[in-house]
Amino acid sequence: MVELCPAEFAGSPQVVDASDLGVQLESDGPRSVSGSLLMLTATGWYQADFTSIALAQTSVKGNDGGVIYTRNPYRSVPVYVGIPNAASVLAVFIAQAQAVDDPAFGWDKRGMVACDPPSDPRPGRRPNLRGEPVVTLPPPVASSLRIAAQPIAAPPILRVDCDKPFAPPTMTSHPDLEVDPNDIGVRGRFVVYVRVALSEHGDVIDAWPYVSSGYKVFDDGVVAFARRATYSPARSFCMPVRGFYLYRMQMGDYYRR
């Protein structure tokens, strides 16, 4: 399991009122994070800095067509970004971040690192994973954690003037699955999600069960399948970037192949 940035968004940022975006930060382990958000609006660019936001473990339940699963990510409280005319925000992403008190991923030693923009940086109300509930962030109250956005010059490397400025990674070859669900010796419907970390060239950095089927032999077989596949990289702001491909397989899907 690898992380490409010390923090990512838990679901998409949301416009919560005329002058605020709501975001939640997420990671695969406990830590405290600081960094910067960049926002492209209809009238220019903005930056908002955040400092020492704690991420604590939570439980997220999903229902994928009747298959119930649980994830246990580490998340922040809602963070509100004050920005003029929040509805004009076209893109928002974590541009850089650092973490402290991270026991597993080694971010403490790396300091502030640059984070690749995602292939879909639009605000909205989208879950992280199929079947997970969409969390609606309410407008801020007096006790809410708020940060302010400041106008900045346009980052020269970030462009949107190409034919396809944003595109998710895609699987370009589809190898055989080398595990037979009959070998598991169970019946029923099970689903596994494998998260594949990809380089800006589409090379596999790592792959692991993001949601387990509950059967290690099946999880391991789907991970091996995902590692043998080939991919095109994500694109963001007209350039190839590192990112994650999420592969879903339901045990019933195997029989229909």
Coarse DSSP helix, strand, coil percentages of the chain, rounded to the nearest 5 percent:
10, 45, 45
According to DSSP, residue 108 is labeled G
Structural domains of the chain in order of their starting residue, each with its CATH number = 8-152 (no CATH), 170-255 (3.30.2420)
Residue 256 has pLDDT above 50, yes or no: no
Q: Residues 15, 123: contact at Cβ < 8 Å? A: yes
Predicted confidence (pLDDT) at residue 143 exceeds the cutoff of 90? yes
Give 154-175 pLDDT, tens digit per residue.
Answer: 999 999 999 999 999 999 998 8
* Tens digits of residue pLDDT in 99-132: 999 999 999 999 999 999 999 999 988 777 878 8
Q: What is the tens place of the pLDDT at every residue in 188-213? A: 678 899 999 999 999 999 999 999 98
- The more confidently predicted of residues 257 and 97 is 97
pTM: 0.90
